[in-house]
């Protein structure tokens, strides 16, 4: 497969087992690991978001999914806001 997960990994998955990403921006942060699958895609592992405030720390969001939970949270929050707006 052209353009699959192996193309993103230095010398393929035997050398580079996963890609790890962590970023912080102000009081917020986000981290995840991308692991290759047999069908040349990625799964998301160790996904977490960070908040520094009254309750600081990393909040684990899950592992093994193909779509980021952060996007699902965003969609859920948008739906909740739309419901609140339509009820006013």
**pLDDT score for 20:** 92
In this predicted structure, what is the pLDDT of residue 83?
42
Q: Could you report the per-residue pLDDT of 27-81, keeping only the tens digit for each?
A: 999 999 988 888 888 899 999 999 988 777 898 999 998 888 888 776 655 544 4
Q: How far apart are CA 76 and CA 2, in angstroms?
A: 34
Query: For residue 40, what are the domain limits?
Result: 5-87
Q: How many domains does the chain have?
A: 1
pLDDT of residue 74: 65
Dihedral sign (CA 2, 6, 8, 12): negative
Q: What is the mean predicted confidence (pLDDT) over 2-13?
A: 71
């Amino acid at each position: 497969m052209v353009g699959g997960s192996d193309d993103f990994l230095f010398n393929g998955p035997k050398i580079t087992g996963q890609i790890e990403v962590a970023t912080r921006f102000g009081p917020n942060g986000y981290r995840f690991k991308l692991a290759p699958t047999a069908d040349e895609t990625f799964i998301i592992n160790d996904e977490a978001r960070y908040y520094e405030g009254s309750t600081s720390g990393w909040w684990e969001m899950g592992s093994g999914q193909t779509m980021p939970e952060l996007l699902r949270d965003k969609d859920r929050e948008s739906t909740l806001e739309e419901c609140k707006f339509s009820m006013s």
